[in-house]
Amino acid sequence: DLEKALLVGVVPADALVGSGVLPGDDGWDPLDLSTKDYFKQVQSYILSLVPERKIRIGDDEIPEQEPEAGAAMPTVGFVGEEERPPALILRDYREAEIRHGRLAMLAAVIWPLQEIADRIFIPDTFGSMTIVYGGPTLPFAPLLMTFFMLNLGYLDIYSSEIKENESGDAFLPGECFWDPLAIMEGAPDSMKRNMQEREILNGRASMIAVAAYIFEEGMTHKPVISLAANDLLFEPFFLVPFVQAWLDNQFGSVSYIDPLI
């Protein structure tokens, strides 16, 4: 049932942009995209490109029947050709935002770590390699990122199976149904909301950071950690040139010789 999530209160019916119901809601949607169900349109287009599945019975091939109206559709969350409530449309956009944010948080950390490791262990080739344009690099960080991406993909498959077979549309955006350390077990609703809001805000900042990495390396053809504009992020504070100049100005004229000697 399309209204299932709304009825059980997992996704409140008034969860629209600006309502403040969902965590991280800044009330900013100038193009009103949160009410346009592009997920449904995109899935319908993709399904139209997929060859019709057929079931072979003996020597005859019978086209597979379409799912009945009201049947659960995995990962996307719409049913048949019915129009979905705006709250569920917004829920799917939030789900996509959270997934992208999780990948961006990993990339925002692993990207500079890879370049720092290259500068330490292969200094002869450092500077000729960028993530955007490629070049000689250590394989460890890319393999680690690939490992994380595969695990996130597995969690998506795992959670989509639960959504399809158990919860239907009654799930929170970004819910993986996996908490091995039981961090959120027994936590009050206010704590859960704070954790969700922090994840969303960190994910948004990370997506902006990764976009900045791509722009900087694309324009300069240099690693992001070697750019002067990023010294405060990737260099020890006392090695930043303008900080050194300030320290010299403040303490360079101080005499440490005991005048009594």
Query: Which long-range contacts does 237-246 make (Cβ < 8 Å, 24+ apart)?
Result: none
Would you write out the chain's pLDDT as a tens digit for each of its 261 residues? Answer: 455 666 555 666 667 777 777 777 777 787 777 778 777 777 777 878 877 655 555 555 555 555 444 444 333 443 444 577 777 788 778 888 888 998 999 999 999 999 998 888 988 888 888 888 888 888 888 888 889 888 888 887 777 777 777 666 666 777 776 676 777 777 777 787 788 888 889 999 999 999 999 999 999 999 999 888 888 888 887 888 888 888 888 877 666 565 555
What's this model's pTM, rounded to 2 decimal places? 0.70
Rounded-to-integer distance, Cα 172 and Cα 92, Å = 10
Contact 111, 210 (CB under 8 A): yes
201: nearest Cα among 101, 60, 103: 101
